[in-house]
């Protein structure tokens, strides 16, 4: 069953009602996060809570629940969804009030919306197909905000091109993918763009850097050009829903696939971390 929740009311997602004046509907004025669970066990919750509360802070949203209270509400929804793998989404908008660009009265509390749906693991036996899009987003990409129109347009472009994901770039500079982080393997080193206002602090990227260091693989965060992406030994796409996959084409040009042994070593270690934490087997 797909579970929905809004401000304390939980039930089948199609039965949950949201007020028309929620600022998420008018302005996309809110933040969100996503993780997954298996048999009721939440994966990497502390990392996702760190990012969620940091997004709230940067958006000046005074989210009313503590970390423990929010986790309890999410756990309640996950338990209601039953056993197995599920994807968890939650968001908070600035509140419900008459449409006005300025912040509402402080008495108008931020909202909490949660959905829990059946997990859909990707097929790791086939490398991903990628395309590219100029990154036209604003300069708050480090906030996991609800404002995702450029991501939506890029996702549709990828679908129409027969691809799985789109790579964002600003001129020749790599930023990230529309829904994922992009990392490279080159000469035995794991590379990723430096984290700044143009790049979301991906939890999966953080995990891969930790895993690489444990495996003795050097890591580096720096500015990366699209020329380097096309010349990489491996092009790695990682996100909460994709975990860790690699690509073999970008804009129909062959890329990567030159260091499968090291990629598979990192991927296997990441899958092992997930299995140890929540008992979910991938791959």
Residues 114 and 132 reside in one and the same domain: no
Residue 144 belongs to what domain range? Answer: 128-278
Residue 76 φ/ψ, nearest 5 degrees: -60, -45
Q: Look over the chain and give the mean of its residue pLDDT values, rounded to a whole number.
A: 97
pLDDT tier at 128 (50, 70, 90 boundaries)? very high
pLDDT tier at 121 (50, 70, 90 boundaries)? confident
Q: How far apart (Å, rounded) are the C-alpha atoms in residues 148 and 34? A: 15
Q: With respect to residue 7, please indicate whether it lies within any of the assigned structural domains.
A: yes
Element (H, E) at 209: helix 203-214
pLDDT tier at 63 (50, 70, 90 boundaries)? very high
Q: Which of 122, 93, 85, 98 is nearest to 110 (CA)?
A: 93
pLDDT given at position 135: 97
Residues 97 and 60 reside in one and the same domain: yes
Query: pLDDT tens across 99-116, in order?
Result: 999 999 988 999 999 999
Q: How far apart (Å, rounded) are the C-alpha atoms in residues 40 and 187? A: 40
Element (H, E) at 174: strand 173-177
Residues 144 and 241 reside in one and the same domain: yes
pTM: 0.96
Helix, strand, coil share of the chain (percent; to 5):
30, 30, 40
State the Cα torsion 221-223-229-231 to the nearest 10°: -90
Q: In which region does residue 234 sit, left (phi positive, over 0), alpha (psi from -120 to 50) or beta (all else)?
A: beta
Query: pLDDT tens across 181-203, in order?
Result: 999 999 999 999 999 999 999 99
What mean pLDDT do residues 147-165 have?
Answer: 97
Q: With respect to residue 99, please indicate whether it lies within any of the assigned structural domains.
A: yes
pLDDT given at position 1: 78
Residues 29 and 47 reside in one and the same domain: yes
Q: With respect to residue 123, please indicate whether it lies within any of the assigned structural domains.
A: no
Residues 103 and 143 reside in one and the same domain: no
Q: With respect to residue 100, please indicate whether it lies within any of the assigned structural domains.
A: yes
Indicate which CATH number applies to the domain containing 95.
3.30.470.10
């Amino acid at each position: 069953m797909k579970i929905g929740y809004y401000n304390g009311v939980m039930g089948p997602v199609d039965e949950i009602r949201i007020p028309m004046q929620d600022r998420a509907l008018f302005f996309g004025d809110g933040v969100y996060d996503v993780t997954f669970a298996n048999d009721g066990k939440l994966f990497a919750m502390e990392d996702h809570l760190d990012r969620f509360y940091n997004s709230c802070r940067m958006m000046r949203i005074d989210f009313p629940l503590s970390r423990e209270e929010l986790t309890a509400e999410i756990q309640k929804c996950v338990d209601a969804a039953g056993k197995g793998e599920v994807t968890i989404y939650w968001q908070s908008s600035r509140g419900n009030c008459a449409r006005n660009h300025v912040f509402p009265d402080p008495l108008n509390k931020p909202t909490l919306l949660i959905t829990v749906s059946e997990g859909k693991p990707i097929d790791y036996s086939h490398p991903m197909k990628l395309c590219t899009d100029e990154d036209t987003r604003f300069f708050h990409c480090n906030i996991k905000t609800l404002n995702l129109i450029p991501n939506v347009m890029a996702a549709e472009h990828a679908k129409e091109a027969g691809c799985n994901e789109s790579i964002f770039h600003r001129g020749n500079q790599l930023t990230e993918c529309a829904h994922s982080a992009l990392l490279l393997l080159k000469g035995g080193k794991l590379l990723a763009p430096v984290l700044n206002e143009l790049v979301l602090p991906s939890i999966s990227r953080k995990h891969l850097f930790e895993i690489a260091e444990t495996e003795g693989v050097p890591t580096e965060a720096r500015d990366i050009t699209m020329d380097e992406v096309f010349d990489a030994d491996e092009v790695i796409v990682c996100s909460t829903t994709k975990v860790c996959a690699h690509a073999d084409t970008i804009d129909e040009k062959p890329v990567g696939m030159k260091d499968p042994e090291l990629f598979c070593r990192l991927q296997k270690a990441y899958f092992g971390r997930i299995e140890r934490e929540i008992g979910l087997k991938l791959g």
